[in-house]
Amino acid sequence: MSPARYPQILDDPLRNRGTAFTAEQRRVLGLDGLLPPAIESLDEQVARSIEVFRRRPRPIDQYLYLRELQDTNLVLYYRLLVDHLEEVLPIVYTPTVGLACQRFHRIFRRPRGLTLPYTERHRLPELLGNRRQPSVDVIVVTDGERILGLGDQGSGGLGIPIGKLALYTAIGGLDPGRTLPIVLDVGTNNEERLADPGYLGWRHERIAGPEYEDFVERFVQAVETELPRAMIQWEDFASHNARPILDRYRDRICSFNDDIQGTAAVAVGALRGAIRVAGSRPRDQRIVVLGAGSAAIGVADEIRQALVDDGLGADEARRRFWVLDVDGLLTEERSDLSPEQRVYARPASEDLSAGATLADVVWAVRPTALLGLSTARDAFTEEVVRAMASHCERPIIFPLSNPTARSEADPADLERWTDGRALVATGSPYPAIQRHGGEVPVSQSNNVYVFPGVGLGVVAAQAARVTDRMLRAGSAALGALSPALRDPDAPLLPPISALRDVAAEVALGVAVAAVEDGVAPERSREDLRARIARARWSPVYPD
């Protein structure tokens, strides 16, 4: 057999089957001698691969092993993720993906996705044309400035879109050959990265202002030209850019911001379940939010809409919120607030003044819900939590910051400080808590409960835009699946093992809303459900 017949199939992760190639396939494709003689089924490959994964000593080593598998055999990679989702999710996604972004330039092996540097701003359509995927359904793009709670990671932020899209496939069922991770490399203000001789990104301070806006516009124009039907998920942009980008492009291209809208959709879904477990209604809540970045304000906006939907007037709903940032309570006399933050500024006539601390606010307001999106570790102190629990029978406490090292509280502490009465959801994974002699899983209010279903719903419905109503429909679908609605001691969100089923229901809600909003072709609910089922890619070797 001539060396010229050596096939490229072993180097193509979409087509490679590794040891699962049959004897006949090996003969026809010229693979004899290139693979070990054993022929494995996909199940056997998964069993062997998860054993190797478990033997890796550290989470970052497990991450690297999975990335190697992703670069080698996509069917095997995604089958492993689907079969062992609860075990591998903290590795593929938060918290380990944050460490992977910090070390991105030390662990780089093979290219995945696209890096679009500012220096090539005049060639973005050409660079986008160099992608491996002819057709693309979903793009996840970041500029790397606000990676989780870790800050500016420059071009190393590409690890986040890679991880997000892995979950679009493993959970949502999107075809991995039709997804594209992108980082806009506009420099970095991270001195550690700039001083690192191994840093692979553009070694320049981060651009800003008109130059930055022009670069993002050039990127959007390139997508409109090259991939006009693709949905864009804006991911981990800093607050000062995230909201303006969302507002600028939401009615122009099919796009949404996961940190603002996805975080809000999941938090509201979990909150709806918690409110019902507490025997209350949305309109009865008094809500304290620690954190005033784009994600925090996005969550507050969606909860405020839920209060309005439950019968409150717009002004009254707004007055049910007390929002704090690093300088204390947002109040009208402060001159440093953005327009989005000013919506929640408290009147100067109130007893609480600018600079009021979280403890001050909790004692004065007697909130029913306390939400953390501050990345301030252990900010929900024992004093604050016990004060809240002293006036609230079932306090709703959501420390939503991630990674785990930036979480506002440990659920085990919340359980102890409230005598097991707190209704808790976290932004990062935590072990089960002990209650009544047994273990109760901790709900992770993770965007993964919503964004894969959003992408699936958009693709199946052929939606041209992502509307607020679509995201609210996805959130409502999630809230209706809360196990706590059937058992008050159960978690607020379904188990990780049920995420593929959750994605299908979220997708249906999103798709139906898209039709109702007139951004997708007219189809019945039954037709949309069938289209969702047909749109899902399965990690199996084709016949």
Q: Are residues 246 and 270 in the same domain?
A: no
pLDDT averages per 10-residue partition of the chain, 543 residues: 61 95 94 95 98 98 97 97 95 92 92 96 97 96 91 96 97 97 98 94 97 98 97 95 95 95 93 91 96 93 95 96 95 92 89 87 96 95 97 96 89 96 92 86 92 98 97 94 88 93 98 98 98 97 91
For the domain that residue 10 is a member of, what is the CATH number? Answer: 1.20.1370.30
C-alpha span between 471 and 476 (Å, rounded): 9
Q: Could you give the 3-state DSSP secondary structure of residue 464? A: coil
Q: Are residues 433 and 310 in the same domain?
A: yes
The parent domain of residue 113 ranges over 96-253
Q: Count how many residues are written for the chain.
A: 543
| 239 in any annotated domain | yes
Q: What is the residue-wise DSSP string for 283-345?
A: GG--EEEE--SHHHHHHHHHHHHHHHHTT--HHHHHTTEEEEETTEE-BTT-S---HHHHTTP
Q: Tell me what pLDDT residue 150 has.
A: 86
Q: Are residues 244 and 363 in the same domain?
A: no
| 138 in any annotated domain | yes
| 61 in any annotated domain | no
The tokens describing 248, both together, are 């600028």
Q: Tell me what pLDDT residue 1 has.
A: 40
For the domain that residue 234 is a member of, what is the CATH number? Answer: 3.40.50.10380
Q: Which of 370, 396, 367, 441 has the alpha carbon at shortest distance from 276?
A: 396
Q: Are residues 380 and 473 in the same domain?
A: no
Q: Are residues 193 and 325 in the same domain?
A: no
Provide the number of structural domains found in the chain. Answer: 4
Q: Are residues 266 and 377 in the same domain?
A: yes
Omega cis (within 30) before 395: no
Q: Are residues 282 and 405 in the same domain?
A: yes
The tokens describing 368, both together, are 């029913």
| 139 in any annotated domain | yes
Q: Are residues 13 and 153 in the same domain?
A: no
Q: Are residues 299 and 414 in the same domain?
A: yes
Residue type, 170: A
For the domain that residue 318 is a member of, what is the CATH number? Answer: 3.40.50.720
| 380 in any annotated domain | yes
Q: Are residues 373 and 441 in the same domain?
A: yes
| 541 in any annotated domain | no
Q: Are residues 479 and 421 in the same domain?
A: no
| End position of a domain, from candidates 393, 414, 446 | 446
Place of tokens 């606010």: 361
Q: Are residues 212 and 109 in the same domain?
A: yes
Q: Is the pTM of this model over 0.85?
A: yes
The tokens describing 242, both together, are 């995230």
DSSP conformation class of 262: I
| End position of a domain, from candidates 219, 253, 287 | 253
Helices and strands per DSSP (H, E), number in the chain: 23, 14
| 49 in any annotated domain | no
| Cα–Cα distance list, 462 to 248, 295, 526, 532 (Å) | 22, 27, 15, 11
Q: Which residues are catalytic?
A: 93, 164
Q: Tell me what pLDDT residue 7 has.
A: 62
Q: Tell me what pLDDT residue 4 has.
A: 45
C-alpha span between 282 and 317 (Å, rounded): 10
C-alpha span between 129 and 141 (Å, rounded): 16
| 435 in any annotated domain | yes
